[in-house]
Amino acid sequence: MRWIWIDKFIEFQSGRHAVALKNVTLAEEHLHDHFPGFPVMPECLMIEAMAQTSGILVGEAKNFQEKVILAKIKKAVFFDYVKPGDTLKLDTKIESIAPEAASTSGKITCADKLIAEIDLIFSHIDQNLAGKEFPEENFVFTADTSVFESLLRDVVSGNARTGADSEQK
């Protein structure tokens, strides 16, 4: 089972830029302990949400032919808390992409307030370590994409808006 930390793609420009949404809810049990009486989304999970958003953008850029693995967190700076009831917008773009790796930059906002800036580096496993075995949970997405399918459906079918006219009004 994978924790999916994004709910929907609202924009997707293949190989360039993507925007995803995540709704934060008090039904997420870890919030009851983080912290008791003061539920806030853990920063590490915000990084994971960005990793999933950026990872799918990077993976789709190569038609999901490569296994994409989060290799390095270049930067993760947080400016404000995220509370139950918040809707996060995760905006990411590919800075560089090469056969063996990709570099992304990203911003998380909530109602136009800047929450975080997260820059990541992903490695393309087949180009780097072909033939070695890795546990499935290391990968942003796996061969069994059934859980991610609903997210990918918007991307693959083009339902997530693409192109220059897809700016939020």
Partner 1 sequence: MAMNRDEIIQQVQEVLVDALGVDDDEVTAEATLMGDLGAESIDFLDIVFRLEKMFGIKIPREELFPAENLMNNSDFVQNGKLTEKGLAELREKMPHTDITGFLDDPDINKLGDLFTVNAIVNYVEGKLNAA
Give catalytic residues, as residue numbers: 34
From candidates 28, 43, 80, 95, binder to partner 1 by CB under 8 A: 95
Instruction: Please report, for residues 15, 46, 127, 149, the alpha-carbon distance to residue 4 in angstroms, rounded to integers and kept in the order given.
Output: 22, 11, 26, 11
Beta strand 68-78 with 17-23 is: unpaired
Beta strand 113-124 with 17-23 is: unpaired
CB-nearer residue toward partner 1: 30 or 74: 74
Task: Work out how close the CB of 96 gets to partner 1 at its nearest, in angstroms, rounded to a whole number.
Answer: 5
From candidates 4, 21, 76, 121, binder to partner 1 by CB under 8 A: 121
Of 165, 37, 30, 59, whose CA–CA distance to 120 is shortest?
A: 59
Touching partner 1, residues 25-84 (CB under 8 A): 71-72, 74
Touching partner 1, residues 138-157 (CB under 8 A): none
Task: Determine, following the binding rule CB under 8 A, whether residue 98 of this chain makes contact with partner 1.
Answer: yes
Task: Determine, following the binding rule CB under 8 A, whether residue 92 of this chain makes contact with partner 1.
Answer: no
Residues with Cβ within 8 Å of 151's Cβ and at least 6 positions away in sequence, in order, are 4, 6, 7, 8, 9, 20, 56
Angle between helical axes of 43-61 and 149-156 (0-180°, round to 10): 50
Task: Work out how close the CB of 75 gets to partner 1 at its nearest, in angstroms, rounded to a whole number.
Answer: 9
Task: Work out how close the CB of 127 gets to partner 1 at its nearest, in angstroms, rounded to a whole number.
Answer: 10
CA 75 to CA 105: how far, in whole Å?
9
Task: Work out how close the CB of 13 gets to partner 1 at its nearest, in angstroms, rounded to a whole number.
Answer: 20
CB-nearer residue toward partner 1: 96 or 168: 96
